[in-house]
């Protein structure tokens, strides 16, 4: 396992996520999309629409991680402040850009079409490149190692297709999950710790209890970029479940 | 609106949230629970189980906000490192505490009961007070202005009942939401910005598009701690929707 791990941060922007009005699902979508490309999410943050919060967070995260993925705040209304915040964070100018304006002009035709509010969505920081939006056209953008995407999940998902091509991934970390029924965390904790110690850092192990009307149990997860070590780990986890008198089942996720 | 705003951070701990294995719902639950108590979530972070990440995040957040709510990492397995990280963050010792052990002893009776792994859940930092767990008994704890809770949503929700009593809230920020059908953000952006400017900081306005098989539209949200200003804002939002030829509907959330 000599390949470098490529690490990313996700920055979710929007008052509605902090108030509880909106349940975020973008973090999970991004994490699952980039993992097979060899990029792991190492940290995530949720900040309000206040520009100073966006600037501080993105500057801290882009210095610390290989990539930063942001969602939210690039629409046409006054509370969409992400583009200006990114320009401020990178110390570049921002204005309506011809390439972005052309995309919007083609989309918003007829009366009341590309008005001043919608033209806000063509404001792109200097040096940024556009990210295609196959859903509603108004583009996202990449500036440096930061990918700025929409907050609406269907639009964000569409933008990821364009983002994915630009990622230079490293080692691909894969997971194997073994399910045991009628087994509790406290029953396998010592065994699991021994497996983690024996793997010498090549595998990380996690334990996640589940409860349902017909019983309870555990999902034991092994994660590794080393296929052979991961295969052994999955086999070891099954043995651990069997040692508690339960028949293990391998499941997705 | 002279009452102080009380601001909190939420710190979600767990590799499974960053890998995308688990979809977090605790942030939303916490935000909705504490808002009526006069505490607003101002920032949230998701960090891995690595102790150094937990320590750095909690120390930064507890200095910046009135309260910090953490979830995850207090179970019996080796990847549950939150309690030790909190002790390190506060510079206090940690060990099995009698009050926590008594709770677990009453719960885990019989053979294979309170083994060494489960006793990990009685490790509580010095100076911390326990948070009751009505679901699975193993307690959370409060240390300083930090509330350390379980990651399993049903357990976390149970712990919030005990946490709520301890919060000293400030101004209660309430929201009113107006739904308009067939209206797009670009159509009302200028009007919305004028409302925000006219409110002189007493109200914050947000715009959230929705799409469904039978159409599209907007949710316009006003948030304020001033009941009279909020009433006026809701009325203004309805007027804005009507000005676009759509009949507004007031909805929850």
Per residue in A33-46, pLDDT (tens digit) is 999 999 999 999 99
Minimum-distance CB partner of B18 among A23, A31, A78: A31
Report the distance separating Cα B20 and Cα A39, nearest Å: 12
Beta-bridge partner residues of A125 = A94
pLDDT at position B111 over 90: no
Output the average pLDDT for chain B: 94
Pick from B113, B232, B9: nearest CA to A18: B9
pLDDT tier at A2, thresholds 50, 70, 90: low
pLDDT at position A51 over 90: yes
CA distance B178 to chain A (A): 13
What is the mean predicted confidence (pLDDT) over B1-26? 92
Is the C-alpha dihedral spanning B93, B99, B100, B104 positive or negative? positive
- Chain B residue with CA closest to A193: the answer is B78
pTM: 0.93
| DSSP, res B120 | G
Beta-bridge partner residues of B130 = B141
pLDDT tier at A113, thresholds 50, 70, 90: confident
pLDDT at position B167 over 70: yes
- pLDDT (0 to 100) of residue B99: 96
Tell whether B18 lies on the interface with A, counting CB pairs under 8 A: yes
| Biggest distance spanned by C-alpha atoms of chain B | 71
A&B contacts, CB < 8 Å: 180
Say yes or no for a CB contact (<8 Å) between B23 and A28.
Answer: yes
CB atoms within 10 A of CB A85: 26
Tell whether A251 lies on the interface with B, counting CB pairs under 8 A: no
Contact A171, A232 (CB under 8 A): no
Contact B82, B68 (CB under 8 A): no
Output the average pLDDT for chain A: 94
Interface of A with B in 63-122 (CB under 8 A): 75-79, 108, 112, 115-118, 120
Say yes or no for a CB contact (<8 Å) between B175 and A29.
Answer: no
DSSP B54-77: HHHHHHHHHHHSSEEEEES--SSS
Rg of the Cα atoms in chain B? 22
Lookup: tokens for A13: 């922007």
Minimum-distance CB partner of B43 among A23, A41, A46: A46
Tell whether A217 lies on the interface with B, counting CB pairs under 8 A: no
Tell whether B212 lies on the interface with A, counting CB pairs under 8 A: no
pLDDT tier at B1, thresholds 50, 70, 90: very low
- pLDDT (0 to 100) of residue B253: 65
Write out pLDDT tens, residues A139-183.
999 999 999 999 999 999 999 999 999 999 999 999 999 999 999
Helix (H, G, I), strand (E, B) or coil at B112: coil
Give the helix/strand (H/E) hosting B104: helix B98-107
CB atoms within 10 A of CB A102: 11
């Amino acid at each position: 396992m000599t390949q470098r791990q490529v690490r990313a941060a996700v920055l979710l922007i929007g008052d509605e996520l902090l108030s509880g009005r909106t349940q975020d699902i973008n973090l999970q979508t991004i994490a699952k999309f980039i993992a097979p490309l060899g990029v792991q999410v190492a940290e995530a943050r949720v900040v309000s629409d206040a520009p100073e919060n966006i600037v501080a967070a993105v500057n801290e995260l882009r210095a610390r991680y290989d990539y930063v993925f942001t969602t939210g705040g690039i629409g046409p209304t006054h509370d969409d402040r992400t583009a200006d915040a990114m320009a401020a964070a990178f110390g570049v100018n921002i204005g309506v850009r011809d390439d972005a304006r052309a995309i919007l002009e083609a989309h918003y035709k007829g009366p009341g079409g590309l008005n001043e509010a919608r033209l806000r969505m063509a404001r792109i920081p200097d040096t940024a490149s556009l990210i295609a939006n196959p859903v509603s056209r108004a583009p996202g953008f990449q500036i440096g190692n930061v990918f700025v995407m929409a907050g609406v999940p269907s639009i964000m998902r569409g933008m990821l297709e364009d983002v994915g091509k630009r990622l230079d991934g490293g080692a691909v970390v894969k997971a194997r999950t073994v399910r045991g029924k009628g087994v509790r965390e406290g029953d396998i904790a010592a065994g699991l710790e021994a497996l983690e110690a024996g793997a010498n850092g090549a595998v990380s192990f996690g334990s996640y209890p589940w409860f349902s009307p017909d019983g309870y149990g555990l999902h034991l997860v092994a994660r590794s970029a080393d296929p052979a070590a991961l295969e052994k780990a999955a086999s070891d986890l099954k043995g651990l479940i069997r040692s508690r008198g339960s028949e293990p089942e391998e499941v997705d996720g």
